Amino acid sequence: MVDITHKQTTLRIATAQATVKVSQLATIDAIRQGTVPKGDVFAMSKAAGLLGVKKTPELLPDCHPLPIEATAIEYAIDGLEITINITVKTIYKTGVEVEAMHGASIVALNMYDMLKPIDKGVEIQHIKLLEKRGGKSDMKTDAANLKAAVIVCSDSISEGNNSDRAGKVLITLLKEHDVTINEYQVIPDQVAAIQEQVQQQVAENTHLIVVTGGTGLSPTDVTPEAIQPLLERPIPGIEEVMRRYGQERTPMAMLSRSVAGMVGTSLVLAIPGSTKGAQESLQALLPAIFHVFHIAKGGSH
């Protein structure tokens, strides 16, 4: 199955539709009057559809098992056509459009099975997805005009004793979202050096300033101490998201002292310096973090 471990858990909703067409009005009358020999068509088909939704990953090899939070099935009759709408909801890392379509197809197939003894002309005409919501594809964020700076804080790297990997991973992630990298610097893990670089980028109207390294508990880890006095509007929610996301993947993420906030119109992030820690911290925020700049311009939440 596709790896979804990097994805965020969010509300996902999908609505699918199927159409069953009978060949005579007598069949519709039998459904409405409850005289179909095999029983209540709508009730039994709804039960079949609920089972179809739940059993989707058992029948489709690449579908992830996921918690189904809600399933609603509705019917509408128009002449000889019966329209089936099924909506499925979950709070998970991947969507439920296949579950909704599978459920709709099972409802339609059960109707066919129940009606074929009294109507040899029953047809299943279409099964389609009407709507899906949730996940990154639902986030309308435009980062094409955003500029970012990546600042790596490390004594050993700045002295040439090690090579930078975390900063390069961050640059790759940002470029995947069409963010322009305005600056990339490796500097010593020193308060004055960090503050100087952040203030310079703020002066250049850089939208996103990502400082990686120096967020641990060592006496030499001073990035939070350097950045916190500069923050005009701390954003603790961003810090919470990074730590929660990291904690779900790395038990020691709770020890990170990541900070986030606005300096003027620039968003400053101080994130871990390990390659994995830096990558996960930014993955936790993208692309939702770009909405900060919409709000800063006076947009709504």
Residues with catalytic function:
113
Q: What angle do CA 49, 53, 54 make, to 5 degrees?
A: 120
Contact 269, 256 (CB under 8 A): no
Residue 137 corresponds to which amino acid? S
Please enumerate in sequence order all residues whose Cβ is within 8 A of that of 43, keeping only pairs 6 or more positions apart, or say none: none
Residue 168: its H or E element: helix 166-176
Residue 27 token pair? 């069949």
Residue 240: its H or E element: helix 236-247
Q: Count the Cβ atoms, other than its own, within 10 Å of residue 174.
A: 20
Bridge partners (DSSP) listed for residue 137: none
